[in-house]
Amino acid sequence: MKFGYKASAEQFSPSHLLELGLMAEQAGFDSVFISDHLQPWRHHGGHAPAALPWLGALVSATERIIVGTSVLTPTLRYHPAVIAQAFATLGCLAPGRVVLGVGSGEAMNEAPLGVPWPRPRERITRLAEAIDIIQRLWREERLDYAGQYYNLRQATIYDRPTVPVPLYAAASGPVATRLAGRVADGFITTSGKGESLYTQRLLPALATGAAEAGRTVKDLELVMEVKVSFDPDRDRAAADTRFWGALALSSEEKTGVEDPLVMERLADALPLERTASRWIVSDDPEEHVEQIWRYGQMGFTHLVFHAPGPDQARFLDLYSEAILPRLRARAERDDVVSSAAKVTAGGWA
């Protein structure tokens, strides 16, 4: 089990975000992930540092943590071959510490460049083609590729890492999740959408996709981006979620929204109770860990924590002292119980 930190690119400047990434390593987190957005969820007070140069700075400044995108869209603003080259370079700079997380994208990040926003089926098809190109460029020489959306002619990535870069695919619906199970090394999704979505729709779709590739879900890294707001002052923990009110908007409310000002206006119209509904809001460490651990019990193996408040240093300190030790103890205890159950059931000789 790994525990990561989500660097909120939409909320902080590049230099401050880099400081927070370093603090996360010092606080004992196992990973730092950043989203790759052209525009933030909010216009006023928002930020949008470019993920690729920022990741280069982070891997140069750190020694231990896994770093990656949660997530990047390799289909519209970028040609997938450019992403293959960029992450191969990052993998050379930090062998074994880089992950490429990809997704099908959002209109707010692609449409401002004049890119027509595709329908869902096309976005998934583009993503599948992009993943195929990236993975093949990482293992093949002089790739010729004639796809529905992308073409390559004798393309080569000349600097490849000795340790392959894993590719994780993000999804919030069963079609993209099945694709992740079939072609990716890991699966990324986000918390707070109701347990049945994960247990009855996404995880079964992931298993189906994995079976199509001759493997099981256990062969994948399952990443849950957990939305958490923890503080000894519960009112403060709830109020901190206001900045990220857009996360509580339904897909129907935000689909096709291209302007951060519009997204901000929609989010600010929500009551605090709804804004906070996407987050695990707590002032009690034991209660907080119990709520988080539901995702561990579902089978997620890498929990990445996204905190909404402006004082991220406070969050990192609180989590380092009160939450991470409890989570690691819980993970170790559950492993022991699981192992004992296997022995009892005759699973081990």
First CA to last CA distance, the chain: 25
Over the range 279-294, which residues count as b (16 or more CB within 10 Å of their CB) and which as e? bbbbbebeebbebbbb
Residues 10, 25, 37, 110: which is the catalytic one? 37
CA distances from 156 to 153, 166, 216, 240, 297 (A): 9, 19, 31, 46, 42
Q: Which among 101, 9, 93, 105 is positioned nearest to 51, based on CA atoms?
A: 9
DSSP 165: P
| 271-111-100 Cα angle (round to 5) | 85
Known active-site residue 44: no
Structure tokens at 137: 């460029």
CB-based contact 320:256 (threshold 8 Å): no
Q: Given CA atoms 178, 179, 184, 190 in this order, what sign does their dihedral have?
A: negative
CB-based contact 70:188 (threshold 8 Å): yes
Residues 25, 106, 129, 264: which is the catalytic one? 106
Known active-site residue 16: no
Pairing relationship of beta strands 221-230 and 151-155 according to DSSP bridges: unpaired
d(CA 116, CA 110): 8
Residues forming beta bridges with residue 333, ordered by sequence position: none
Residue at token pair 């709520």? 291
SS (H, E, C) 22-77: HHHHHCCCCEEEECCCCCCCCCCCCCCCCHHHHHHHHHHHCCCCEEEECCECCCCC
d(CA 95, CA 107): 33
Structure tokens at 158: 């000349």
Whether residue 71 has a cis bond before it, omega within 30° of 0: yes
Question: Active-site positions?
Answer: 37, 106
